[in-house]
Structure 1
Amino acid sequence: MLVFFSGATQLTAQQSDAFALKKIHDQALTEGDCYDWLRHLTKSVGPRLSGSAGADRAVRDMKALMDTLGFDRVYLQPCTVPRWERGAPATASVISGPNGLAPKALSVVSLGNTLGTGPRGVAGTVIEVRGLDELRALDRATVAGSIVFLNTPMDPALRNTFAAYGAAAGSRVFGLVEAAKLGAVAVLVRSLTTRRDDNPHTGAVATEEGVDRIPALGLSTNDSDWLSAQIIQGEVKVELKSYGRDLEPVTSYNVIGEVTGSEYPDEIILVGGHLDSWDLGEGAHDDGTGVVHALQVLPLLEKIGHRPLRTFRCVLFMNEENGLAGGKAYWKASDEAGEFHLAAIESDRGGFTPRGFSAQGREDVFTSHFSRVNEWLPLLEPYGLAFQRGGSGADISGLIGQGGLLLGFLPDSQRYFDFHHTNVDVFEAVNQRELELGAAAITSLVYLIDQHGLR
């Protein structure tokens, strides 16, 4: 009899959870606000590079919005961010090549945190390499005075485009330093996308004390293929100009909204995205969608009549793109306060159709936490959601030592790198229904963790 009663209670709880998740999805698709919020962030605010006027306005506008959403407390958390300016658009032109090759302009963009050539520019023979290992195998006599072309394509055979990105991104991140050590005067880097087009992609590069910060430009995939074909036939010389510069660091802010849990106030569930963006487009998929996903969670919970049992925190991080200052400031303050994040969810992979979540955690607790969330698969599978082991997100990664579960929201990845770090990452590239389904997926997971915990 007791066994029967227990089973009946469990069934009732599952039915209640299933109904709650249905209501969350219904509300997101019919009454959600995240698409309108994204329109404001992209069209009224626009690009939001750390330290810029756009980033400052984004902080003000998102705090003002949070003040209307029912949080117990909304506040700004200061962080010191680097300030880099792109300056005038970079240019690159082929000035000589095999078989009387006519001059040709190339589609390029300055990579982030790089210094420019100034108006006089630099010129050199192009040396093509397929990756860092090939570059490191060259000697200084071969490379000195040249422009190194890192032509590292994303592997189209990999279904997970983030895996393909991770395998190729080292050329962009570390290519400048490795080429400069060998005496190169500049670097061209193949854009990180599987798409063949004329849109060059920007992104951050690493620097190293004592190594020249030579100019580094992203080159479109179409022009990367074209340039490679010319180099096969003979020597190619390119001239390029860029205008990036460093300014003094400034104070910016994470924007945080919090609701204190009614039963477990010391257990925090965080949902976040990064408020900054690169300066070429409008920062729609990267990461305006993550921002509005995070903002939508509390209103959706309130629409279904659920007030958090655990403390819920919405965090809009600053400076993910070129420094991670906001994430680092948050981790430091949280650790110093002795906080415990039971779960942290980051949305930073665009606003496409939800596929699930990638999870990581401290070794001693991960297995039990991961097993717990997988118990909810029967509730989540009707919405196409699943869990996998893997990374979570840059801005929450430093919370792993607290012993909670870190999760990265996983939308379909096939189109993300068509837009990533380009001038076409704009509001029009985001599908309203896909965006709203993402907000519903994240809110559903927050609801389940809040309702049942992870133990």
Structure 2
Amino acid sequence: MNRILYLLIFLLSFNTYAQSDEEVLRTIYTQSLTNGKSYAWLDYLSNQIGGRLSGSLQAERAVQWGKEELEKLGLDKVWLQEVMVPKWVRGAKEYAYIESSKKQTTNVNICALGGSVATNPLGLKAKVVEVHTFEDLEKLGEAQIKGKIVFYNRPMQPELISTFSSYGGCVNQRYSGAVEAAKYGAVGVIVRSMSLRLDDLPHTGSMTYGNLPVEKRIPSAAISTNHAELLSASLKLDKDLEFYFKQSCTQYDDVLSHNVIGEITGSEFPNEYFVVGGHLDSWDLGDGAHDDGAGVVQSMDVLRLLKESGIKPKRSIRVVLFMNEENGLRGGRKYAEVAKQKGENHVFALESDAGGFTPRGFSFDCSDADFEQVLSWKPLFKPYLIHYFEKGGSGADISPLKTDNNVLCGLRPDSQRYFDHHHAASDTFDAVNKRELELGAATMTALVYLFDKYGTNPLPNQSGIKN
């Protein structure tokens, strides 16, 4: 019986490598679209476990779930990697209102930024100064800022086609806004949510106090885009209005958590490692379906799809479910640290952390020779409407793995709707389309297959579609 089983596995593997690349990719996409697991996995992760802020009970449930699901796939190895992570708890729901100089109040929607301190138990009320940049703070100076709440109201630039570029152009006010405002004696910070959409949902995200002493740290919160517009308009009419908000968040000592790792050991080059992954943690307002439940389940399905498609990798392929990308990047750094200690040769890494929308292609951090090889594969992806192959960034969790010789890349889905949900209560399972998610998993698997088959650092004369 065992001889028959081994013969079938051998024939399946032989048949795969006898096929053209076009045929193998067609098999991968068919498997994902007709027999995919990513959507069912995401359903459980989102709806049965929920938001997975690092250090939380839900995050630890997700770790155990990830380990158990990878073990069911029959991988060669599955293990947990210890990592210490920050534990920040939001506490009771935040409350805020605008109070006019005539004492009329209007409730507005806010949420504490991750890592913020709490307000006084009775809340904080003060006059407001609106700014767009840190340069505005410098111009106003302490005389006009001290004792007030600084309201950062720089929107994402709508004219930029790349929404990630738009996000990058304004996210510093969220991350460093409290540190900068505190220099001038501000008592609190309110930041316009990082979203191109006008709605009532505040978007959280990480912030820092840098080296600011604990006693000088000021509470920081995000306000929904609709209510940012309202506050700005109200200030133009009534410069003496006040803003009240109350939040009860707490920062605790670091706690133990884990990265989840599964491996298919390479048949020819077991000491050359490929990594494919996403981050298991999420913010707590929604269930983290797009950010980054989608990347987690797509990465898991890469290994399953390789097995289901009869592909036996030459190199060792690992899926890594990273912990604590959102507020520390501890998981990505820990994985790279351990890999360096063990002398592991990571030749390729792929991350999915841009949502579960329709895949458009990849961005690559690699040599010119490797990128030329990638461009030669573009015709293979054309039938799937995958056309975006550009040099650029890869992903936060895999970035510590970068060397002069390896290839790092990031899946690039359509991004136009991503920041509608990013870090908000609307980042939920119902916002993810099954087919789009499965197309992403297949696209990732196809790239892993090609790089595994042909390797990195190709010879100068290699080009064209390979069969």
> Which residue matches 1:254?
259
Deviations 1:307-364 (A, max 9, x none): 1111100000000000111011011011111112111000000000000001113xxx
Deviation at 1:419, TM superposition (A): 0.4
Deviations 1:121-178 (A, max 9, x none): 1111110001222223321111100000000100000111001000110110110100
Match runs of 1:118-129 below 5 Å:
118-129=120-131
2:78 is equivalent to residue 74 of structure 1: yes
> Which residue matches 1:232?
236
Answer yes or no: is the 8 Å Cα contact 1:132–1:170 preserved in 2.
no
Match runs of 1:206-221 below 5 Å:
206-211=208-213, 212-221=216-225
2:313 is equivalent to residue 308 of structure 1: yes
Structure 2 residue runs without a partner (length 5+): 1-15, 459-467
Distance (Å, rounded) in 2 between the aligned partners of 1:101 and 1:434:
50
Distance (Å, rounded) in 1 between the aligned partners of 2:104 and 2:408:
53
Deviation at 1:403, TM superposition (A): 2.4
Paired AA for residue 305 in structure 1 = G
> Which residue matches 1:377?
378
Distance (Å, rounded) in 1 between the aligned partners of 2:356 and 2:140:
42
Question: What do you get for the CA RMSD once the two structures are aligned?
Answer: 1.4
2:59 is equivalent to residue 58 of structure 1: no
Distance (Å, rounded) in 1 between the aligned partners of 2:197 and 2:385:
26
2:299 is equivalent to residue 294 of structure 1: yes
Answer yes or no: is the 8 Å Cα contact 2:278–2:299 preserved in 1.
yes
Distance (Å, rounded) in 2 between the aligned partners of 1:174 and 1:280:
21
Paired AA for residue 332 in structure 1 = E
Out of 110, 127, 132, which is 2:134 matched to?
A: 132
Distance (Å, rounded) in 1 between the aligned partners of 2:43 and 2:95:
31
Deviation at 1:101, TM superposition (A): 7.0
Paired AA for residue 177 in structure 2 = G
Q: Please give the secondary structure, in 1, of the residue aligned with 2:306.
A: helix
Distance (Å, rounded) in 1 between the aligned partners of 2:18 and 2:202:
49
How many equivalent residue pairs?
A: 438
| Matched-pair identity in % | 49
Answer yes or no: is the 8 Å Cα contact 2:100–2:238 preserved in 1.
no
Match runs of 1:41-440 below 5 Å:
41-97=45-101, 100=102, 102-211=104-213, 212-235=216-239, 236-361=241-366, 366-385=367-386, 386-401=388-403, 403-440=405-442
Q: Please give the secondary structure, in 2, of the residue aligned with 1:281.
A: coil
* Stretch deviating more after TM superposition (323-332 or 402-411): 402-411
Q: Please give the secondary structure, in 1, of the residue aligned with 2:344.
A: coil
Distance (Å, rounded) in 2 between the aligned partners of 1:272 and 1:152:
33
Answer yes or no: is the 8 Å Cα contact 1:173–1:204 preserved in 2.
yes
Deviation at 1:391, TM superposition (A): 0.8
Paired AA for residue 76 in structure 1 = L
Deviation at 1:375, TM superposition (A): 1.2
Paired AA for residue 384 in structure 1 = L
Paired AA for residue 295 in structure 1 = M
Answer yes or no: is the 8 Å Cα contact 1:393–1:408 preserved in 2.
yes
Deviation at 1:78, TM superposition (A): 0.5
Distance (Å, rounded) in 1 between the aligned partners of 2:338 and 2:279:
18
Paired AA for residue 211 in structure 2 = E
Structure 1 residue runs without a partner (length 5+): 1-11
TM-score by length of 1: 0.94
Q: Please give the secondary structure, in 2, of the residue aligned with 1:401.
A: coil
Distance (Å, rounded) in 1 between the aligned partners of 2:211 and 2:171:
21
Q: Please give the secondary structure, in 1, of the residue aligned with 2:270.
A: strand
Q: Please give the secondary structure, in 2, of the residue aligned with 1:296.
A: helix
Q: Please give the secondary structure, in 2, of the residue aligned with 1:294.
A: helix
Distance (Å, rounded) in 2 between the aligned partners of 1:14 and 1:324:
42
